[in-house]
Structure 1
Amino acid sequence: MKILTVIGARPQFIKAATVSREVLKRQNDGVDIEEVIVHTGQHFDANMSDIFFEQMRIPKPDYNLEVHSLGHGAMTGQMLEKIEKVLLDEQPDWVLVYGDTNSTLAGALAAKKLHIRVAHVEAGLRSFNMAMPEEVNRIMTDRISDLLFCPTATAVSNLQAEGFGGDARGFGSIVRSGDVMQDAAMFYAALSEKPGIEFDFDSPFVLTTIHRAENTDDPERLQSIFEALQTIAEKTPLILPLHPRTRAKLTALGIRSLHDRLIIIDPVGYLEMVYLLTHCALVMTDSGGLQKEAFFFEKPCITLRDETEWTELVEHGFNLLTGADRNTIIDASEKMLRHKQLFDERKPELYGNGNASGIIVDALLKNQCKPNSDSTE
């Protein structure tokens, strides 16, 4: 069996690495399985692409389509055209896509138009905000996928509410796989690397990331968030690996760090990010993946958005939604930094037990492509 994996953005490299290791394990056990990796080029900065293939211990991609620095339509269109050519050459049994990026949608569309089966990892997630390009991408990808790998019970419920799960309309089969990011956290925790910055990592600090368009493209939101960060830094240092797009927006708006305890650094590799996660006291982010990783590493989290796809983290109190309001962010940070007993009790298994990759590969090998199936195993 041949799987063609389409990736293009930083979080997808991490997710794909877990499944790639499982594929290699099956190959070593004599299973007839092959993976072809296609990198669309969506993230092309060296710190956000090439270094990942080295750190994640996976082979370099078989194809690099080098599609980047374009608007959503042009980017998705060029990816669609180039992925189609690869599919015609490779003739895979499955196309495997991850998450909610333009690369995800382009890979799924290209495969479906050629009648190649599509499997979507992280299916069923919903923010219910159609202004987010990611929401459009994930909904469309789910609708045309043959196999839907859901990381949580909430994701399964979302799909069932939309009509997936065994009726006569030909929707794809649902598999509750757990989250591949939990697999990654368990694997990479022992491999973390200390970032090359001067800082006492034994003292409390806040790890912060900001990159979502809803924040970076809105000057008022971005200004409000940074005012909050400056205030929080007066009591607790913040380390902010700054996304290139966010840096450009801050420069254009004349926003800069006015406090030496708000430490702005270049983006770091995943193993350095794991180190920061394991040593920080609090995570503040607008990233989807980092919200979960905070939970995996037992760190409280504040999400600088108006909604989240990971609603179970909010429901259990591990995550607070603040939006971009300055005072709300400051109040939430004080509350979470005081909440030292948050993870004292046993964590619920919200995202599986760290075997999502094995479940995914098993399902692909079993050729679970039955449009009328109501499987939720």
Structure 2
Amino acid sequence: MTITIIAGARPNFMKIAPIIDAIKQKQSEGVAINYQLIHTGQHYDRNLSDTFFEELNIPFPDINLNVQSGTQAEQTGAIMIGFEKVLAENPTDLVMVVGDVTSTMACTIVAKKAGIKVAHVEAGIRSGDMNMPEEINRIVTDSLTDYFFSTTSLASKTLEDLGVNKSQIYLVGNVMIDTLRKNESRLKQPALWKGLQLQEKKYMVMTLHRPSNVDEEGQLKALITQLAQLGKDYPIIFPVHPRTKKLLEGLNLNFDNLHYVAPLGYLEFNYLVKNAFAVLTDSGGITEETTVMNVPCITLRDSTERPETCTIGTNVLVGNDPDKIVQAFEKLFSGNWKKGEIPELWDGHAAKRIVNNIVDIYKL
């Protein structure tokens, strides 16, 4: 059989790497399973795409749709048009989508209209926030998916509550953590470490890109100002997302402890996260990695599709509420941050479970 795997944005690359490794392992065992890798080009900055293929030893895509940036509708339409042509010219037995980006939803719709079954890796997660484009992507994708590979028992239950047949749901764990576990020994110190004279557990890492935080200049300015001031003498390393960089221009947000840097590759970024005193973020995936690496994480969102990072892990939600942010920093600096644990099946073997299930489903 042939599986067509879709990658469109930074998190996707981290999730497909172990799946491809697991497929290759099955091939070496004589199992008749093949794959073709499609990169939609949804993220086109080199540090958000090509670097990941090089660092994580992922084969370069068989096809790149080169969609690049645009509005939600423009990206969705361009991906659907491009992927429809790909499927017409490259027959497949199964389309595998990962995560919750625009490419995930768009390729799912195209596959189902072409009569091709869809497997969704990271199925069933929900934030409950319909203002997030990703939430819409999750809902649409899961409404069409045939095989649901979930990260947690809560995600599986969410699917069951929505009426998905239990026989279609497979609790496999978290492929993002597969990649982290495999590459922990390969994490590398970025050049900025020495340049900024960083020390272990004596700095923070920050990422911001959610519209609720960065779209309105006043909100963005107030948030960054508060975080920089609360950070005291701790350097705050801020790899700036291309989307956020445009918004920061002209705001004159300059603080001695705030360091704007270019987006980093996977190995360098996670080196910074692993050795950080804390992480300040509005990303979902980073909260998973901080939970596994036992790094305090302050999430600048009101809701999360990964509640286990809060109930089990090291993550705390504060939104952009100034009072909650102050309280989180007070707890951080007092040394009273909670001790996290690692969720069930976040053990580095999720991709093997996914591919084993596919082999069983198709009786290969």
The question of a shared fold, defined as TM-score above 0.5 by the shorter chain, is answered with: yes
Residue pair 1:224, 1:326 contacting (<8 A) in 2 also? no
- C-alpha distance in 2 between matches for 1:31 and 1:338: 55
How far apart are 1:342 and its partner, in Å? 3.6
Percent identity between the two aligned chains: 38
Deviations 1:42-85 (A, max 9, x none): 01011111111100101100001000221111111111111111
Correspondence 1:15 to 2:11: no
- C-alpha distance in 2 between matches for 1:51 and 1:95: 24
Q: Which amino acid aligns with 2:293?
A: F
TM-score with structure 1 length normalisation? 0.91
Correspondent of 2:264 among 259, 265, 268:
268
Residue pair 2:313, 2:342 contacting (<8 A) in 1 also? no
Correspondent of 2:179 among 155, 160, 184:
184
Residue pair 2:153, 2:171 contacting (<8 A) in 1 also? yes
- C-alpha distance in 1 between matches for 2:106 and 2:254: 42
Correspondent of 1:232 among 230, 234, 245:
230
2:109 maps to 109
- C-alpha distance in 2 between matches for 1:324 and 1:118: 37
- C-alpha distance in 1 between matches for 2:3 and 2:303: 34
Residue pair 1:284, 1:303 contacting (<8 A) in 2 also? yes
Correspondence 1:290 to 2:286: yes
2:356 maps to 362
1:278 maps to 274
Q: Secondary structure at the match of 2:6?
A: strand
- C-alpha distance in 2 between matches for 1:141 and 1:337: 41
Correspondence 1:326 to 2:322: yes
2:308 maps to 312
Count the aligned residue pairs: 360
How far apart are 1:292 and its partner, in Å? 0.4
How far apart are 1:196 and its partner, in Å? 1.2
Q: Any stretches of 5+ residues in structure 1 without a counterpart?
A: 167-171, 370-377
Q: Which amino acid aligns with 1:263?
A: H
- C-alpha distance in 2 between matches for 1:101 and 1:19: 18
Query: CA RMSD, aligned part only?
Result: 1.7
Residue pair 1:208, 1:285 contacting (<8 A) in 2 also? yes
Residue pair 1:234, 1:259 contacting (<8 A) in 2 also? no
- C-alpha distance in 1 between matches for 2:333 and 2:39: 39
- C-alpha distance in 2 between matches for 1:191 and 1:354: 15
2:221 maps to 223
Q: Secondary structure at the match of 1:366?
A: helix
Structure 1 residues 368 and 128, CA gap change in structure 2 (3 angstroms): farther
- C-alpha distance in 1 between matches for 2:69 and 2:145: 27
2:151 maps to 151
- C-alpha distance in 1 between matches for 2:218 and 2:172: 39
Q: Secondary structure at the match of 1:97?
A: strand
How far apart are 1:316 and its partner, in Å? 3.2
- Which deviates the most, 195-204 or 234-243? 195-204
Q: Which amino acid aligns with 2:209?
A: H
Structure 1 residues 348 and 67, CA gap change in structure 2 (3 angstroms): closer
How far apart are 1:221 and its partner, in Å? 2.8
